Amino acid sequence: MKLLTQGSELDGFTIGECIHSGGMAHIYHVTYAQGTHDPGFPMAMKMPRMASGDGAENIVSFEVECQIQQVLTGPHVPRFVAAGDLERMPYLVMEYIAGRTLQHWLDAPQPLDVQVITRLGVAMARAVHALHLQNTVHLDLKPQNVLFRPAPGAAGPDPDSPPLSEFGAAVLLDFGLSHHAHYPDLLAEQLRKAVGSPAWIAPEQVVGVRGDPRSDVFAIGVMLYQLCTGELPFGEPQTAAGMRQRLWIDPVPPRKRRSDVPAWLQEVVLRCLEPEAAKRYPSAALLAFDLSHPTQVHVTERGTNTEPTPFRTHFKRWIKAAGMHYQPSPLPSQQIEEVPIVMVAVPYRDATDATLYSLRQAVARSLGTRPGARLACVTVIPSSLSNTTNEERSETQLHRRYLTQLHQWAQPLDHPGRQTSCHVLESGDVARALLDYATGNQVSVIVMGAATHGLKTQRFVATVPIKVAMDAPCTVILVKQSLPFEQLAVRPDEAQEEREAQHELRGPGSDLYGDDLGPLG
């Protein structure tokens, strides 16, 4: 297909300049002809290449992209505008988003700071998680297909002085090789071969398994490896045999190629690159969580090792891979439900034994026996507590004290294979702090104490649990306190000592979550 002429019209669109001409498609700036409509955002038209020498995958992938692009929503994908008739004139019109692809950071002359790498990884993982929630797996993630919006408040990218540390949310592009769980997989049906970009393709894709969200986690791991080392973990194989090697071969540890890569980051990257999907992060949300909380990452020998994997280990994996039968995971959204991030809001003071017991029981029920689930224990303390000259109430002392209390409270919830982390937040608005944490960390379930007192107050002023329940981006479980009879059998002298200790530790006259709206149990 020839390039369209700038200024010509097609189905009510005026063609602008060609902004990309690749092996699969041409992309043009477009506007509505004669200004008949104003979508409120710039637009781009994508047209597949259909010359005599182009492969069948061009037109098949275009069909797939048109099918999937129309049903995707949210800030991490371009908005759909229109699609042309495949038999007459195939095209796809979508939102044009200004920004830079990940390749911009990979082309930086100097090694990237670890904080920048981490922020880029978090942005990618959050975008991929949003895609998986819509039962879609990208399957062709690579630096050219991950775009970063300009930083909030920025006028737009400045090609003369690109600020490497400034960028906004990630946007995923090019869904031509993607798989939607509710639509026929045209690529699998018509091509009958592995499709994807050789440097970033996951091991299970090599053997023809499509639809596993952990394949996208693998691709993120490849890009994180590139950001850390400037190298591709598996090179750029050009043959099927070359791609199959990643079924049993580990890449050189990032710390071997760049000594200042922290052990926790290597742990995260190499977990993403595990040959077996079951050993990777089970969801992109859990990957984003670890990247956002490096101090909570459990570092194993995988993170500290600087020597390549020995030949004997690779040989055993080669034998295992030869007879391995790969099975895709359940629906992407179902996979996410199986490995939730459960957040429990633990009051920092004035919490009764009954309240703490009830919260723990509710959390245990929410986690069930799912080994991949993560528990985030969060407590919010007022900012005013650390703004004092009292040495015992310094910021460090306060955080250490409340972290210790959280770890003690969560200890009975420890379960093999489950990760638990504790977080102390400072804020003057407890509800907002909890909501921001839940939103920023893709929390699946929030568990917190319900208000059992001050019902008259709730008619006029929303308490913390009500505010969280009204605005939370996920399920909220409000727990009323209960305690087994045997737990109440405490000797009077012990009960009096406990009350005095709690009074001295917490101070009188505040509610469960530290606001002034009445006690919340």
Reported pTM: 0.84
- What separation in angstroms does the CA of 204 have from each of 152, 210, 289, 326, 331? 38, 8, 24, 7, 16
Query: Is the same domain home to 91 and 110?
Result: no
Residues 6+ apart with CB under 8 A from 473: 435, 438, 439, 443
Residue 486 covered by a domain: yes
Amino acid 509 reads G
Residues 6+ apart with CB under 8 A from 150: 98, 99, 156, 157, 166, 167, 168
- What CATH number corresponds to the domain at position 292? 1.10.510.10
Query: Is the same domain home to 18 and 135?
Result: no
How far apart, in whole angstroms, are the C-alpha atoms of residue 268 and residue 211? 23
Residue 69 covered by a domain: yes
**Which long-range CB contacts under 8 A does 197-200 form with residues at least 24 apart?**
197/140, 197/142, 198/236, 198/237, 198/238, 198/242, 198/243, 199/142, 199/232, 199/234, 199/235, 199/236, 199/237, 200/140, 200/141, 200/142
Distance from chain centroid for Cα 437: 13
Residue 58 covered by a domain: yes
Query: Is the same domain home to 293 and 308?
Result: yes
Query: Is the same domain home to 275 and 420?
Result: no
Query: Is the same domain home to 91 and 146?
Result: no
How far apart, in whole angstroms, are the C-alpha atoms of residue 12 and residue 225? 45
Are residues 414 and 381 in contact, defined by beta-carbon separation less than 8 angstroms?
no
Query: Is the same domain home to 125 and 89?
Result: no
Are residues 414 and 374 in contact, defined by beta-carbon separation less than 8 angstroms?
no
Are residues 255 and 306 in contact, defined by beta-carbon separation less than 8 angstroms?
yes
- Write down which residue in 69, 95, 121 finishes a domain: 95
Are residues 207 and 112 in contact, defined by beta-carbon separation less than 8 angstroms?
no
How far apart, in whole angstroms, are the C-alpha atoms of residue 496 and residue 498? 5
- What CATH number corresponds to the domain at position 491? 3.40.50.620
Query: Is the same domain home to 31 and 124?
Result: no
Residue 64 covered by a domain: yes
Residue 90 covered by a domain: yes
Tokens 């495949």 locate to 86
How far apart, in whole angstroms, are the C-alpha atoms of residue 267 and residue 265? 5
Are residues 44 and 28 in contact, defined by beta-carbon separation less than 8 angstroms?
yes
Within 29-164, residue ranges assigned H as helices are 56-69, 103-106, 114-132
Query: Is the same domain home to 90 and 65?
Result: yes
CA proximity to 68, closest of 157, 152, 153, 180 = 180
Query: Residue 65: how many CB atoms within 10 A of its CB?
Result: 23
- The interaxial angle of helices 263-272 and 284-292, nearest 10 deg, is 170
- Write down which residue in 282, 304, 335 finishes a domain: 335
Residue 3 covered by a domain: no
Residue 453 covered by a domain: yes
Residue 514 covered by a domain: no
- The interaxial angle of helices 114-132 and 284-292, nearest 10 deg, is 160
- What CATH number corresponds to the domain at position 78? 3.30.200.20
Question: Looking at the 3D structure of the chain, how many domains does it have?
Answer: 3
**What range defines the domain where residue 223 resides?**
100-154+165-335
In three-state secondary structure terms, 60 is helix
In three-state secondary structure terms, 96 is coil
Query: Is the same domain home to 380 and 319?
Result: no
Query: Is the same domain home to 305 and 371?
Result: no
CA proximity to 145, closest of 199, 93, 103, 187 = 103
- Write down which residue in 288, 316, 335 finishes a domain: 335
- What separation in angstroms does the CA of 10 have from each of 65, 281, 421? 20, 45, 55
Query: Is the same domain home to 193 and 310?
Result: yes
Tens-level pLDDT at each residue, the chain (521 residues):
567 888 999 988 999 999 988 777 889 999 998 766 788 899 999 998 876 555 566 788 888 999 999 999 999 999 999 999 877 888 999 999 999 999 999 999 999 999 999 999 999 999 999 999 999 999 999 999 999 999 876 655 554 455 677 899 999 999 999 999 888 887 775 555 666 788 999 998 888 888 899 999 999 999 999 999 999 999 988 888 888 888 888 899 999 999 999 999 999 999 999 998 989 999 999 999 999 999 999 999 999 999 888 878 877 777 777 666 666 666 788 888 888 899 999 988 877 888 888 899 999 888 876 778 899 999 998 877 665 555 545 667 888 888 998 999 998 887 766 788 999 999 889 999 999 999 999 999 999 987 644 444 444 456 888 889 999 999 999 998 766 544 545 555 554 554 454 444 444 334 456 543 333 33
Query: Is the same domain home to 77 and 106?
Result: no
Q: End-to-end CA distance of the chain, in Å?
A: 69
- Helix, strand, coil percentages in the chain from 3-state DSSP, rounded to 5: 40, 15, 45
